[in-house]
Chains A and B, each alone.
Chain A
Amino acid sequence: MKLEEFQAKKLFREHGIPAPDGVMVTNATDGKTAARTLGCPVVVKAQVKTGGRGKAGGVRLARTPDEALIAADSILGMDIKGFRVERLLIDPAVPIAAEYYVGMTIDRKKKVPVMMVSASGGMDIERVAAETPELIFFHPVHPERGLRLFEAKQLAFRLFSDSKDVMAAASIMVKLWNCFNDLDATLAEINPLARLEDGSITALDAKIVLDDNALYRHPGMEELRLPTPSEMKEQGAKSHGLSYVQLEGEIGCMVNGAGLAMATMDVVKHLGGTPANFLDIGGSSSPEKVVHAMELLVSDRNVKAIFINVFGGITRCDDVANGLVQALSEIDLEVPMVVRLTGTNEEEGIRILAGQGITALKDMTRGAAEAIRLAREGSVGR
């Protein structure tokens, strides 16, 4: 679960990491009031869960409350990489002397948490990693021992030479590890960590991603969820045991298993079609799950044909077939549908569908090709 900057900064401050104490607002008038209360100048920052908002015009400096009003008005509602701006963070603007990067994540290869630091702060760290990897320093953190102060100091000396700066930065690094570990995060990032003109060191931006698998032991965190419309749909799907990600294509896919679902999208793409979504109905597919899955697919107006791809392992083909029959009795299907059923109880599944006039194929690639053909035919006919 990704948090927005204002939420992450609050959690940082709770863990003793200095970060500007700004105000989150949802309309321009409140933005102006916040600017007046905080004292200008302020920075007006779009709260979106994606990088690159600065370049997109989602961060603006305002020298007066009226400028804050204008900035807030223009940023709210903006589309940044597909994310609509609904919230702003009004932060006091501070004079920056230098910018650094400090982040905690999981090193999948070494199988341990890792701290990353760089003197190239304020930039896209992905780009720094790709273009100048020598400017990023990595330090694996033992999950039981945690990040010790001496380790943090070694890292801080990579960024600073003044010992006062080193101690301040090292302390922030230890607190960042504590925050990451306490919250069960998979990412906790400060970019930039800034040295201000008054000599203090502070987190000017904050990014936290929480481990979805660990949310059960942080019940309060669920309240921080601020889903975008597409995430709302994904969350709704999840409550029915479905794993769904919406894309922008035309072929609605329903598959059992995440790997096979990706393979299905890939074969659609390989054959010149465009997948409308990722949808994994999971291992045991009760009829009602199939009904919910069908509802998801038909609610996407881009979908011009549906491709159902089921490999019966633990999932039984007859269960899926029964679910489909039930779904079709409840849903008015306006687009063509192709079913591919093979594996456990396939004969029974195919017979059930045939009884409803639905022909099931046994081959995945042929099924995908057929769905693409029908989608094209449908759009020509319309």
Chain B
Amino acid sequence: MSILIDEKTRVMVQGLGRDGSFHSRQMKEYGTNVVAGVHPGRGGSMFEGMRVFNTAEEAVGETGAQCSVLFVPAPFASDAILESANAGVGLVVAVTEGIPVLDMSRVVLELDELDTRLVGPNCPGLISPGKSKVGIMPGNIFSEGPVGVISRSGTLTYEVVNQLSLAGYGQSTAIGMGGDPIVGMKYNDYLVHFERDPETELVVIVGEIGGTDEQDAAVFIGQHVTKPVVGYIVGRSAPPGKRMGHAGAIISGADSTAEAKVKVLREHGIPVADTVEQIVDLVAAGLGG
């Protein structure tokens, strides 16, 4: 098992520009069931053995795509998310960085009405190792196993996963939920799935400064999650009021510091690692216990 995506999930790619083309190939090589591409003006053509359509509606109608991964440039991305959601896609993964925050607010409200889930934006996507990869993660560092990973970052997720894999702790599903102030699914939404997934035995949550999602997760875990959870929070040396790369990684109040997040997680009995290496130790302890 895994969560949200597996080898059967029918995936379409929105935006076949440079990145979309490159990662379509990478996803196919990984074994993802990529069934269609959507690129206005290229309908009727083929790309890497998949059919290309002008609109999401056609692509879904013709191929039964259930999941869409977006490489559409930021000015057009929020519309593209709504396009695939309105075409009936149940899971949209928005890799695009730089979508205005008010656009995202409008998008998430409409997605709630449509019953479409959103991963991202500004995210590396998600992967169920050995089954399917929807996004831009380097597939080779992931391995199959019992650890669920939820992260707000990209490269840091790879660093964490790589060390877990090297130490023999594979992953059921690993998700980069996105680094923007407003993203679709958050820790709690993924935790519900991991809690139900029989393959997942432990969940690692990788957080950072900005917002209070980690605190919300701590409370939620205390009430609804029986599986062990390990935390790791970065940005302990970040100055207030400065964006640390991610649009959402900015200390805007006492609650949004790394220290505040670590404290609340620990208060809820969740062990928090100080370094990436310590995550592996805490995972070992969590699975051993």
Contacts and interface: CB of A to CB of B under 8 A. Distances in A.
Interface of A: 50, 106, 108-109, 111-113, 126, 129-130, 142-144, 181, 184, 186, 211-214, 216-217, 243, 245, 247, 249, 255-263, 265-270, 275, 278, 280, 283, 311-315, 342-344, 364-365
Contacts of B54: none
B181 A313 contact: no
B247 interface: yes
Contact of B253 (A126, A265, A283, A313): A126
A108 B211 contact: yes
Nearest to B23: A314
Contacts of B151: 259
A339 to B, nearest CB: 16
Interface string B231-263: 000111111011111111100011000100000
Given A213-B74, A243-B244, A278-B245, 12 more contacts: A108-B211, A126-B253, A129-B253, A211-B101, A216-B75, A243-B245, A245-B238, A256-B155, A259-B151, A259-B208, A311-B158, A365-B277
B106 interface: yes
Interface string B16-33: 000000000000000000
A270 B140 CA distance: 30
Interface of B: 74-75, 98-106, 108-109, 136-138, 140-141, 151-159, 162, 179, 181-182, 206, 208-213, 216, 234-239, 241-249, 253-254, 258, 274-277
Given A186-B101, A266-B235, A270-B274, A108 B212 contact: yes
B101 A213 contact: yes
A260 B100 contact: no
A259 B238 contact: no
A311 B106 CA distance: 35
Contact of A211 (B100, B157, B206, B239): B100
A360 to B, nearest CB: 16
A257 B154 contact: yes
B275 A267 contact: yes
A217 B235 CA distance: 31
A47 to B, nearest CB: 16
A108 B104 CA distance: 11
Given A109-B211, A266-B234, A314 B75 contact: no
Contacts of A112: 105, 109
Contacts of B277: 365
Contacts of B213: 108-109
Contacts of A142: 109
Given A108-B182, A278-B244, A278-B245, A342 B236 contact: no
Q: When A and B form their complex, which 5 residue pairs have the shortest distance between CB atoms, in order from nearest?
A: A259-B153, A257-B155, A258-B245, A259-B156, A214-B100
A213 B208 contact: no
B137 A313 contact: yes
B238 A278 contact: yes
Contact of B179 (A108, A111, A258): A258
Contacts of B253: 126, 129
Contacts, number: 174
A217 B101 CA distance: 13
Given A213-B98, A314-B136, A262 B105 contact: no
Nearest to A269: B237
Nearest to A275: B237
A177 to B, nearest CB: 11
A56 to B, nearest CB: 16
A113 B102 contact: yes
17 contacts: A106-B101, A111-B109, A112-B109, A144-B109, A211-B100, A211-B102, A213-B247, A217-B75, A257-B154, A258-B179, A259-B151, A259-B157, A263-B156, A266-B237, A311-B159, A344-B140, A365-B276
Contact of A143 (B106, B162, B237, B276): B106
B239 A247 contact: yes
Given A243-B245, A314-B136, A263 B234 contact: yes
Between A142, A262, A342, A365, the greatest number of chain B beta carbons within 10 A of the residue's beta carbon is seen for A262
A316 to B, nearest CB: 10
A230 to B, nearest CB: 9
A262 B154 CA distance: 12
A324 B59 CA distance: 44
Contacts of B206: 259
A210 to B, nearest CB: 10
Contacts of B141: 313, 343
B275 A109 contact: no
